[in-house]
Amino acid sequence: MRNIFRLAYRAFVSSLDKPTLFFILIFPAFLIFVMGYAYSGIIPSFMLGGETISYPVFLASGAVTLVVVNSGMTVGTIIWFDRKYGMYEQILVGPFRRYEYMAGIILATILVSLLSAGLALTIASPVLAGTPVTLPGLLYAGLTLAVGSVLFGSLALIISIHLRSSESFNVVSNFIFFTILFTSSVFYPAEYAPQPIKLVAELNPLTYLADAFRAGLLGIADSNILFKTGILMAEGFALLAVASLMFSDIKA
């Protein structure tokens, strides 16, 4: 266990420098303060799970989940850099077991996600002020973020392992990032979207993460919320399993 914490700390320190943290937070900050208000003139408050919600609040709460995707991508892809720059093999000849390396990355993903989500939430607090936040709701929201971070950390691992020697690594991971972002319920509630988009959104784990997080944070009584959380967990578990399999298949 100590080894996992040590390797997690290493992954944390070597993947998260100040510019990276800035990059993780700046995009959601724009969504929260610019996009939300810019659109509020043409998007009236709407009904969500039986509550009236304004677009800035809707978007701000979604933007917080976005940092989880961003953090997962940042920390999960460390394996790509470790293999490219030799640290992976160096760690494997150190006093560690292979699974500890991967567990360390997953743990670091959770830590970075919760840390940056906390910061994003602080940034969003002026917008969210006035919404009744409860402690159980907040805990629930935090839990969904942790599950989401495992999911997106695993996704990043999968991409990194698959594209081991590819120079298109950056292009592919950016493409996947934006696809996940724009087909999720971060910007719009999936149930209001036209059929084809709705279909994609309903496959997208970020939709479930955003919905479950919003429900917890804003106290929205979404009757499907347990179901959605279940899907999020199932998808997270599936991706973690795939990532683990691919990881154990890596030949040194």
Partner 1 sequence: MYAIVAESLVKTYGGVPALDGVSFEVDRGEVFGFLGPNGAGKTTTIKILTTLIKPTAGRAEVLGCDIYRMGHEIRRRIGVVQQQESYELNLSVEKALDLYGFIWGVPRSRRRELVDELLIRFGLSEVRKVKAGDLSIGMRRRLQVAREFMHDMELLFLDEPTIGLDPIVRRQTLDFIKSKAREGLTIFFTTHILEEAEYLCDRIAMINRGRIVVVDTPDNLKREFGKIRKVEMRAKHSIPDDFIMRLMADSSFDRVSRIDPQTVSVICSTPGEAIAQMLRLADKFRLEIVSIYAAEPTLEDVFIGIITSDA
Which positions lie near partner 1, rule CB under 8 A? 2-3, 6-7, 9-10, 13-15, 17, 81, 85-87, 89-97, 252
Give me 123's structure tokens: 């940034």
Closer Cβ to partner 1, 86 or 126, answer by number:
86
Q: Is-contact 201 193, C-beta < 8 A?
A: yes
In 36-77, at which residue ranges do the beta strands (DSSP E only) sit?
46-48, 51-53
Q: Pick from 144, 141, 174: which is nearest to 156 by CA?
A: 174
CB of 83 to partner 1, least distance (A): 10
Closer Cβ to partner 1, 7 or 128, answer by number:
7
Residues near 196 by beta carbon (within 8 Å), at least 6 away in sequence: none
Q: Pick from 163, 147, 174, 167: which is nearest to 70 by CA?
A: 174
CB of 154 to partner 1, least distance (A): 22
Give me 107's structure tokens: 């743990």
Closer Cβ to partner 1, 32 or 105, answer by number:
105
Distance, in Å, from the CA atom of 181 to the CA atom of 200, rounded to the nearest integer, reads 11
Closer Cβ to partner 1, 20 or 224, answer by number:
20
CB of 113 to partner 1, least distance (A): 19
CB of 90 to partner 1, least distance (A): 4
Residues near 242 by beta carbon (within 8 Å), at least 6 away in sequence: 154, 158
Closer Cβ to partner 1, 4 or 59, answer by number:
4
CB of 23 to partner 1, least distance (A): 13
